[in-house]
Structure 1
Amino acid sequence: MKTCLVVDDSKVIRKVARRILEELSFNVEEAVDGQDALDVCNRMMPDVVLLDWNMPVMNGLEFLKKLRSMQGVEQPIVVFCTTENDMSHIRVAIEAGANEYIMKPFDREIIEAKFSQVGLM
């Protein structure tokens, strides 16, 4: 079973994402910010990261850059999931190593479609 790390400072978003992902047969880990997510990745690298942009301590873009600089690990697929929907944010995310981009609010169909596009389904 594949593992998804949901990184979002909103408990509600993490809960909704967990419910959807578990229905799609993913094991789910959660992190409240980028630093928490890095700690999780150092313990156990997930198959995919569902990543918010705007968070305290360390934002999603900072986390992504640190994740992509890690050596000797199999890199997960990273799907940004955020309210930042202008093309400049999307371009910056993709250039930093994001595989896909989802706009909030999201539902099961959106997650399923994006995860299928990157070969997770």
Structure 2
Amino acid sequence: MNNTVLVVDDEKEIRDLIEIYLLNSGYNVIKAEDGKEALDILKKENIHLMVLDIMMPKMDGIEVCRKVRESLNIPILMLSAKSEDMDKIQGIMTGADDYLTKPFNPLELTVRVKSLIRRAYYFSGANNEDKDVIKVGVVIIDKEKHSVTV
């Protein structure tokens, strides 16, 4: 199963650049050009991580992040031209898991995505609705049934 990343940025060139690198790293990519479209996609698709620009029309990334955190606990990587410390702090305090400033190295973004997904899904056991079932990568441990499935 490939993880799906939602890339939200009002600049088409940036969405397309990120898509190329993430596709080459084995991720499925869905793109949105604004916050409202991103929220609609999150209702319909199984998204594992979101790359979210802060400065966008209709709804900025900070507001999108707040709305996402009301119901979802997916990793969020903020992406912004704002590089001041207070901007980074605001992004993280709003609920983002990481923050990368533009211009960025697409390889660094790809590594951060991989790291966030690894921590969120493969090692923590988080997001398992059933606490008696532990998922570590492709290994599933069922404590109640005393079984391990690969």
Per the TM superposition, whether the score is higher than 0.5 is yes
Q: Is the 8 A contact 1:64 1:96 kept in 2?
A: yes
Residue 3, structure 1, aligned to residue 4, structure 2: yes
Identity of aligned residues (%): 29
Unaligned runs of 5+ in 2: 120-150
Aligned residue pair count? 118
Q: Is the 8 A contact 1:45 1:76 kept in 2?
A: no
Opposite residue 118 of structure 2, the aligned amino acid is: L
Opposite residue 9 of structure 2, the aligned amino acid is: D
Tell me the TM-score normalised to structure 2 length.
0.74
Opposite residue 39 of structure 2, the aligned amino acid is: L
Tell me the TM-score normalised to structure 1 length.
0.91
Q: Is the 8 A contact 1:65 1:97 kept in 2?
A: yes
Q: Is the 8 A contact 2:8 2:35 kept in 1?
A: yes
Q: Which residue does the alignment assign to 2:29?
A: 28
Cα distance in 2 for partners of 1:119, 1:67 equals 17
Structure 1 residue 119: Cα displacement: 4.2
What does residue range 52-63 of structure 1 map to in structure 2 within 5 Å? 52-63=53-64
Cα distance in 1 for partners of 2:92, 2:104 equals 19
Cα deviation digits, residues 48-94 of structure 1 (max 9, x gap): 10000000000100000000012xx5x21100011111111111111
Give the counterpart of 1:111 among 109, 112, 116.
109
Opposite residue 12 of structure 1, the aligned amino acid is: E
Unaligned runs of 5+ in 1: none
Q: Is the 8 A contact 2:34 2:58 kept in 1?
A: yes
Q: Give the SS at the match of 1:95.
A: helix
Higher relative contact order (CA 8 A, sep 6+): 1
Q: Is the 8 A contact 2:35 2:60 kept in 1?
A: yes
- Structure 1 runs (4+) deviating above 6 angstroms are none
Q: State which drifts further: 39-48 or 103-112.
A: 103-112
Structure 1 residue 109: Cα displacement: 2.2
Q: Which residue does the alignment assign to 1:82?
A: 80
Structure 1 residue 113: Cα displacement: 2.9
Structure 1 residue 44: Cα displacement: 1.3
